[in-house]
Every structure is written in structure tokens, then in C-alpha cells.
Copies of this chain bind each other. A is one copy, B any other.
Amino acid sequence: MTFQDQARAAKAASTVLRRLSRAAKDDALSAMAARLREAARGVLAANAADLERGRAAGMAEGLQDRLRLTEDRIEGMAAGLESLAALPDPVGEVVRGWNTAQGVRIEQVRVPVGVIGIIYEARPNVTADAAGICLKSGNASLLRGSSSALESNRAVISALRAGLVDAGVPADAVNLVEGGHETTQEMMGARGLVDLLIPRGGAGLINAVVGGSTVPVIETGTGNCHLVVDTSADLGMAESIVVNAKTQRPSVCNALETVLVLQGIAEEAVPRLVGALTGAGVAVHGDPASVALDARVVPAGPDEYDAEYLSMDLAMKVVDDLPAALEHIAEHSSGHSETIVTENLESARAFQQSVDAAAVLVNCSSRFVDGGEFGFGAEIGISTQKMHARGPMGLREMTSTSYRLVGTGQVRLG
């Protein structure tokens, strides 16, 4: 089956999904979960084959870990599908509604997008997750996983499609896209067949999709997150937020990467924060001013303020004042999550008004910027772009809207 045929089949399925009731979608999700549990043994065998192939090709240990499925992980995937069934249906929600002067009723209503393509790396659990989120929001999915997870993805998708058929929903609602690099290219150029592409993975993957795609793309992911310690900060609070934001899970996009300390409080704050961080196992890299204030700080290289560490490392810098901190953030931020610790109302206000990011925080940890913590119940990623969806994306962000007008024969007069 060519990609075009597959995309057309997905589009045909999407016209059925668009009209499904919540109950029909929830039944399908439950059936998908049941089939996935049933297929666990086969999925594990397929995954073992992928892992064997990966090891033979010298795949890094960390990538093998992402690729690896276990009984627990498969159970997690199934439970995830069931938890989607328990969430409210985003389709049909009225965003706004009003009556015009002539008495026409207008409602802006959430509707499915149509066909959504997900391009992702070697994590087979994303396959079930993305398929479920798309289905619940009434969208057909074209899932383009990594070739290194091909056997695992085939086994997972086969189970999910069996569940769809059990529930009387077209199997083409969920599709695995196979094939080489040309297929990815076709997917990125499939305007009219694919309504939205979401790349999930590293910066390289995301940039390739954004740069090469004529289909609309939502970028997810990179988070070069800053925290500003204001002169008015409660340093006990700053300490616990900095340690939490850096160490609670250093490998994720909402983890803290850089601390900017205002000059006026640096003498007290730098040693205290460095003490807490090093005590928690973090290596602090800093500018000359930070190094001068605490010998445990190692000098930061020239590029260390520009990229995510995603590790137990943190960059520190002493800045003159809040405007200087804002300037540093404007220059280096990836637009994900930016935090200030302050007791001063005007500093908090100025920070939240000035910083251009998906999330701007006062006195709490950037680790809260997450679909689960936001209460969305499901998350397809965290958008760092400005159009359509910005920040954590749940079911609602997987919808478009349509205006529904109902009249009694009104025509336009002027």
C-alpha cells in the first residue's frame, strides 16, 4: 500500500470518526486496550527482535532503554487508553456562542482536525498513546515511528486495529506508516490529505519536519528554561524550587537549565544555591561572577547558556538587574517555561508581561508545566510555538473549531 493510499484511507476513516459519539469512541479505546493486553506476548517478542537488531547495530544503551517494552510498560499503555476513555469528549464543546442583531445564532464549536500525522523516535509506547489521543479527539492518525522500532510498532498497531474492528470503528482510524525517508517526505508534503503533523523527538527531528513540511506542523519539545532570583526573593523558596526544577527529572523539557541571580542578592544567593545544588548532585557551571562567589562553580563555556543540558548540570549567571535578566532570557530562551522567584509584586508583574514563552511562572517549579500537572489527563507534547496551541497539549489542542450558524431565513442587507 502506498503512502497516498494509506492517507486516503485515513481520510475516509476520519469522516466516520468526526461523527462518532463519545460512547462509541470510548468503547473503541477500551477494546484497543483489551486487544493490546491480549497481544502482550507477541508485542514483547517483536520488541525483543527490534532490540536484538539495535544491539547488533551498536544502538546506545539509553536508546535501547527507550525502545524496550516490558509487561509493565504494555500494561501502562493499555491503562493509558482506558484513562482516555474516562476523559470528557473535546468534540462538540462550545467555545463561544451569541446571537446577531438579525437573530442568527452563532456557535463556535470544537470539531476534529481530520488526519493527524505523528513523527516520532524509537519509543513504542508513543504509538498507543498517540493513537489513543487522536481517536478520542475524533482524528485519524498516521503514525510514523522509527524504523528501529518497526517490529514493535507493527505488533502494537495490529492489536489496536483489532480493537477498533471489535468496536465497529474503521481500522484505518489508526495507521502505521512504514517505508524509507521518501515516505517521510511524502507525509510532509501531503497537503489536503494530512491536516497536521506533530514531530515528537529531538531538536534535529523537529527542525527537519518544520523546515521540510508544507502541511501545518506543531513543534514540541526543546526547553532551555531559566529561573530568575530577584533581589526580593525568599532564598529558602528559591533553593527548593531550583533544586526541584533541576533534579526531579533532569532529562525532560520542563527541567531547569539556567539560574540568573540578580547582582543585589548574589553574594548571599549564589553560595546558598550552589550549596543546595551540589548537595543534590548537580554540577554548577557559571560566569566569572558566580565563580568568584563560590569556588564550587566551574567556569561555563561560551555556548552553555544556549542549549539544554538535560542532565545534572546547570548554568548560573549573575546579572545586573531585572531588565538584564529579561534581556538574557529574550536572547537564549526556547520559549518553553521561564520562572521568577520574587516577593515583589511589580517584579512578578513585569516578568509575566515581558517574557515571551509558553509558560511564565512566579514562585513555583517549572516541572508543573506538563499536561498531567495541568489536569489535562492526556498530553501529546508541549508546544513551544505560538500558533494554534502553546504549552501542554491535551485533547482540546487536537481539535479545530467550526462556526455553526442557525437562522430562520435571514439574508444580509448591507
Contact = CB atoms under 8 A, between A and B. Distances in A.
B360 A403 contact: yes
Nearest to A386: B400
Contacts of A360: 402-405
A325 interface: no
Contacts of A353: 18-19
B362 A406 contact: yes
Contacts of A240: 409, 411
A354 interface: yes
B403 A365 contact: no
Contacts of A195: 386-387
A391 interface: yes
A59 B373 CA distance: 59
A361 to B, nearest CB: 4
A367 B412 contact: yes
B244 A361 contact: no
Nearest to A12: B330
A386 B403 CA distance: 12
A359 interface: yes
Interface in A356-370: 356-365, 367-369
A390 B401 contact: yes
A117 B412 CA distance: 32
Interface stretch (A98-106, A118-126, A146-154): A98-106
Contacts of A113: 386-387
Interface stretch (A209-217, A220-228, A287-295, A308-316): A209-217
The CB with the most chain B CB atoms within 10 A, among A191, A210, A403, is that of: A403
A111 interface: yes
A388 B390 contact: no
Given A356-B18, A386-B196, A411 B244 contact: yes
A406 B348 contact: yes
As for how many copies of this chain the complex holds, the number is 2
Interface in A161-202: 191, 195-196
Contacts of A363: 406-410
A352 interface: yes
A240 B409 CA distance: 8
A402 B358 contact: yes
B114 A18 contact: no
A365 B411 contact: yes
A64 interface: no
A344 to B, nearest CB: 13
Contacts of A216: 216, 385-387
A248 interface: yes
Given A15-B330, A111-B356, A241 B403 contact: no
Interface string A70-101: 00000000000000000000000000001010
The CB with the most chain B CB atoms within 10 A, among A104, A368, A390, A412, is that of: A412
Given A19-B353, A245-B411, 7 more contacts: A18-B354, A104-B368, A216-B216, A248-B411, A361-B405, A368-B405, A368-B410
22 contacts: A18-B353, A100-B374, A104-B368, A111-B356, A216-B386, A240-B409, A241-B411, A356-B402, A359-B405, A360-B403, A360-B405, A362-B405, A363-B406, A364-B406, A364-B410, A365-B412, A368-B405, A368-B412, A374-B403, A388-B388, A391-B401, A391-B403
The 4 closest A-B CB pairs, nearest first, are: A364-B407, A244-B411, A367-B412, A386-B400
Interface of A: 15, 18-19, 98, 100, 104, 106, 108, 111, 113-114, 191, 195-196, 210-211, 214, 216, 218, 234, 237, 240-241, 243-245, 248, 330, 348, 352-354, 356-365, 367-369, 373-375, 385-388, 390-392, 400-412
